[in-house]
Structure 1
Amino acid sequence: MKKALFLLTILTCFFNCTVNETPEFIGVNTIEVEDSNSKFITLKAEAEFLNPNDIGGTLKTDDLKVIINNNEISSVTTESFDVPAKDKFTIPLRAKIPTDSLFSDKNLSSLLGSLLTKNMKVQYVGDIDYKIMGFTHKYHVDVIDNVKIKL
């Protein structure tokens, strides 16, 4: 009798919870320079989602590429992020870029243009993975923004 009651409780919870949709990828907020010093420039953006389900899951980014002035410079990797149930949320997308990679030979012409205009074209390209109970869904990210640089 206890086993039947336990099974009935689990089935009731399972059928009353909505898990039929993946979280909605709303977009990536503005890319901006969070910090800069002589060794690194830290870029920050936030990916915004809406989860309509009664249970969460996890989101993870692996090798989200950062392209500055049409040159691949760095990548964004994050630890797994717990998705809240029935909520709108953001995950941080930070890239720590060594300044010496900006001053490489292949970047000198685009860097000179950036210094004159005080802007650099930053692009995030790659996938964010959503995982829940063995199910995986990929969200493709491809966002370009002009980032103001301070001299």
Structure 2
Amino acid sequence: MKTKLTTLLLVLVIFIGCTVNEKPEFIAVDNIEVVSVSSDTLTIKADAYFNNPNDLGGTLKTDGIDVIIANVNVATVQTEAFDVPGKRQFAIPLVAKVATNDVFKKNKDNLIGGLLTTLLTKKIKVQYKGAIAYKALGLSYDYPIDITEEVNIE
């Protein structure tokens, strides 16, 4: 009986000593880059940076972030839930695979102008827009994401 009480008391002390009193701080989305280009697929990656001041972690889910190229929604970032580490800064990758056919089909009106601009400048305008969801111990927060950058194509 004494062992069970000691174990329960130890678990309570550890649980109370661990803080989850504030949500992780969203720092920025940065490093948007074209990772690979093929005849049918364009892979784009960005990093979302956070700082977790809490002792305990949680999970981040990135489903629902749209990737917009040349004002056309061409893909959605979809990943597994990411485990948030306690008491440190971290980054999560936001990777999207874009079917190049989708870009051309959805942007028929401005296809020639967009192709010429891309070929001449070797740059495309990429926007990440949506939200990253954080969950820990029954608490939930959404971090809105809306960033646009011109990205070099090599």
User: TM-score, normalized by length of structure 2?
Assistant: 0.90
3-state secondary structure, aligned to 2:5: helix
CA distance, structure 2, for counterparts of residue 92 and residue 107 of structure 1 = 31
Count of matched residue positions in the alignment of Structure 1 and Structure 2: 150
Q: In angstroms, what is the RMSD of aligned CA positions?
A: 1.4
Q: Residues 53-88 of structure 1: CA distance to partner in whole angstroms, max 9, x if unpaired?
A: 111111111120001111111110110111111111
1:83 alignment partner AA: V
CA distance, structure 2, for counterparts of residue 120 and residue 107 of structure 1 = 14
CA distance, structure 2, for counterparts of residue 71 and residue 107 of structure 1 = 11
Residue in structure 2 matched with residue 99 of structure 1 by the alignment? 100
Residue in structure 2 matched with residue 133 of structure 1 by the alignment? 137
Give 1:111 shift: 3.3
CA distance, structure 2, for counterparts of residue 52 and residue 118 of structure 1 = 40
3-state secondary structure, aligned to 1:4: helix
Give 1:107 shift: 4.7
Give 1:144 shift: 0.6
3-state secondary structure, aligned to 1:20: coil
Displaced runs of 4+ in structure 1, greater than 4 A?
none
3-state secondary structure, aligned to 2:7: helix
1:113 aligns with 2:117: yes
CA distance, structure 2, for counterparts of residue 74 and residue 106 of structure 1 = 19
1:119 alignment partner AA: K
Contact 1:51 1:86 (8 Å CA) reproduced: yes
Q: Residues 83-105 of structure 1: CA distance to partner in whole angstroms, max 9, x if unpaired?
A: 11111111110010011112221
Distance 1:106 1:74, change over 3 A: farther
CA distance, structure 1, for counterparts of residue 65 and residue 115 of structure 2 = 22
Residue in structure 2 matched with residue 147 of structure 1 by the alignment? 151
Residue in structure 2 matched with residue 122 of structure 1 by the alignment? 126
Unaligned runs of 5+ in 1: none
Residue in structure 2 matched with residue 44 of structure 1 by the alignment? 45
3-state secondary structure, aligned to 2:31: coil
CA distance, structure 1, for counterparts of residue 78 and residue 115 of structure 2 = 25
